[in-house]
A and B are shown apart, each in its own frame.
Chain A
Amino acid sequence: MASPITLSAHNLTRFHGGRSVVTDVSLELHRGEVLGLLGHNGAGKSTTLQMLAGALTPNSGRVEVCDFDIARKPALAKACLGFLPEHPPLYKDMRVDDYLTFAAKLHRVLPAQLTEYLNLAKQRCGLTDCGKKLIGTLSKGYQQRVGIAQAIIHQPAVVILDEPTVGLDPTQIRDIRELIRELGNNSSVILSTHLLHEVENICDRALILQQGKVIFNDTTDELRRHSDIESSFIRLTAMPTEGATT
């Protein structure tokens, strides 16, 4: 692919209490690409994403974002990143506008661009009418949207979303999928999910983790080649039905 690499991870390994949770995971992400991270519960998806986002330090291996090593040049690397963790990091007693402005400032958005970026992020996540509301009073779906808005407000080159569609209703899921597609035009997106159709619909490539190891890393077309995506996933992970919700 001709487009430049925005995120690359080399041989990431992470231990938790002597047991390796993620072993030797390498991946590359190009500009304008949407990568889906699949796997059973406990396969190491969230751990991998946290390492990519710089929230967790790998025991070995390294991560580069926009050619900056995240361990050596964290400020430069993290400025190119937007991250939505598994639990959206929301201050429940702040108003949506205040919170998003704070998130933007943390990511070094210039004061002159603040309003523009804020409005764009709110519009993209369908939060235009919620600016004055307290985050704590919003429903789970709206809180999830605020979490996503927080991750994209500074218009980063790489957006990392850990299960972005959890807790959303079908319409919202459709909206968020459209948003991810749209983000994929200019930035790179990496998202983890349990929903195989989500991967089928919006991801260019899929990466399947099994017990912390990469067992599949190719285009979604490849995953679909022999049979439908669901049976491919089940065949690959070789653990029938469990965790493979559709």
Chain B
Amino acid sequence: MIRTLAKKELHTLFVSPSTWWMLALLQFIFAWFYLARMDDYLQVQAQLAQMDSAPGATISIAAPLASVLAIVLMMLIPLFTMRLIAEERRNQTWILLTTAPISATDIVLGKFLGLLAMLSIIIAACAVMVCSLALGTHADFGLIAGNILGVWLLAASYAALGLFFSSLTRQPVVAAFGALAVYFGLWMLEMSSGVVRVLSPNVHFQNLNVGLISTADIIYFALFITGFLLVSIERIRRERGGV
């Protein structure tokens, strides 16, 4: 059942030409940024060669690209998540799901996984581009893997949070801005000092960004995602009246 719902979400995304335009545009932006970083790197390469432990091509090119990808996804994901539930309510198609013999868990997980598949495509396209570094130099695939994993976990967290906001309202715009406001809040937390800092997903992304894959960060993301999926499920269960 979850697969049926996820496939339907993905199908809806890909029948619309705007999705293809958006994917093309994103890929163009990432490619532009990638080439710009590459250019910068080649210009300072002569100086770097004289240093002892100079930063490699991967950390100078792939890591900043992953950061940009993370920021772009932060802006983009609310536009997807608002469609998932809030827009269905407004278009009065939501009732098809609530009167079907499926559970709130099926609905939430189906929609989440459908969106995650779409986000994975964006991230994968970027990853393939970054791997092309190996054509010209010795690429650090461990670092690339860490970055991709980081972006993917961050995207999944944003999707879970956005889905929760979508489940709260029947106004897609409210859902999108609510989610975006919280993303920004969490991003701001990163710049603060003290204990609250660890609440920000961006802090945990930073570790993966520099190639540090630690269990604590992975657990943080897993908890973040599971937490917001659970409250979304609970919210929809209540709306449908128990069970």
B residues in contact with A74, CB < 8 Å: 101, 103, 240, 243
Stretch at the interface among B7-15, B50-58, B61-69, B199-207: B7-15
Which residues of B in the span 1-33 have a Cβ within 8 Å of any Cβ on A? 1, 4, 8, 11-12, 15-16
The verdict on A238 contacting chain B, using a C-beta distance below 8 Å, is no
The verdict on B46 contacting chain A, using a C-beta distance below 8 Å, is no
Most interface-central of A74, A76, A93, A103 (chain B CB within 10 A): A74
B residues engaging A (CB < 8 A)? Answer: 1, 4, 8, 11-12, 15-16, 91-103, 240-243
Stretch at the interface among A27-35, A82-90, A120-128, A197-205: A82-90
Partner of A54, one of B1, B93, B96, B98: B98
A residues in contact with B1, CB < 8 Å: 105-106, 108
Contact A102 B4 (CB under 8 A): yes
* A-B contacts, 16 listed (Cβ < 8 Å): A50-B95, A55-B99, A71-B241, A71-B243, A75-B101, A75-B103, A83-B95, A85-B92, A85-B99, A89-B93, A90-B93, A93-B12, A94-B12, A94-B15, A106-B4, A106-B96
Least CB distance, A61 to chain B, in whole angstroms: 12
B residues in contact with A11, CB < 8 Å: none
- Closest A residue to B242 by beta carbon equals A71
Which residues of A in the span 52-81 have a Cβ within 8 Å of any Cβ on B? 53-57, 71-72, 74-79, 81
> Given A85-B92, A91-B93, A106 and B240 touching (CB < 8 A)?
no
Contact A98 B242 (CB under 8 A): no
- Closest B residue to A78 by beta carbon equals B101
B residues in contact with A89, CB < 8 Å: 92-96
**What's the Cα separation between A54 and B241 when bound, in Å?**
9
A residues engaging B (CB < 8 A)? Answer: 50, 53-57, 71-72, 74-79, 81, 83, 85, 87, 89-94, 98, 102-103, 105-108, 150
**What's the Cα separation between A6 and B96 when bound, in Å?**
21
**What's the Cα separation between A21 and B1 when bound, in Å?**
35
- Closest A residue to B92 by beta carbon equals A87
B residues in contact with A85, CB < 8 Å: 92, 95, 99
**What's the Cα separation between A129 and B15 when bound, in Å?**
21
**What's the Cα separation between A245 and B12 when bound, in Å?**
40
A residues in contact with B98, CB < 8 Å: 54-55
A residues in contact with B93, CB < 8 Å: 89-91
B residues in contact with A102, CB < 8 Å: 4, 8
A residues in contact with B102, CB < 8 Å: 75, 106
A-B pair number, CB within 8 angstroms: 70
**What's the Cα separation between A90 and B94 when bound, in Å?**
10
Contact B99 A81 (CB under 8 A): yes
- Closest A residue to B107 by beta carbon equals A106
Least CB distance, B94 to chain A, in whole angstroms: 7
Contact B4 A105 (CB under 8 A): yes
Least CB distance, A148 to chain B, in whole angstroms: 13
B residues in contact with A55, CB < 8 Å: 95, 98-99
Contact B241 A57 (CB under 8 A): yes
**What's the Cα separation between A76 and B92 when bound, in Å?**
24
B residues in contact with A50, CB < 8 Å: 95
Least CB distance, A101 to chain B, in whole angstroms: 9
**What's the Cα separation between A105 and B97 when bound, in Å?**
11
A residues in contact with B16, CB < 8 Å: 93
Least CB distance, B27 to chain A, in whole angstroms: 23
> Given A89-B93, A89-B96, A102-B4, A107 and B15 touching (CB < 8 A)?
no
Contact A54 B243 (CB under 8 A): no
B residues in contact with A75, CB < 8 Å: 101-103
Least CB distance, A169 to chain B, in whole angstroms: 23
Contact B242 A57 (CB under 8 A): yes
Least CB distance, B85 to chain A, in whole angstroms: 14
Most interface-central of B1, B8, B11, B100 (chain A CB within 10 A): B100
Partner of B101, one of A92, A108, A150: A108
Least CB distance, A141 to chain B, in whole angstroms: 18
Contact A83 B241 (CB under 8 A): no
**What's the Cα separation between A169 and B136 when bound, in Å?**
69
> Given A57-B240, A85-B92, A89-B92, A107 and B8 touching (CB < 8 A)?
no
**What's the Cα separation between A56 and B94 when bound, in Å?**
12
B residues in contact with A53, CB < 8 Å: 99
Contact B15 A106 (CB under 8 A): no
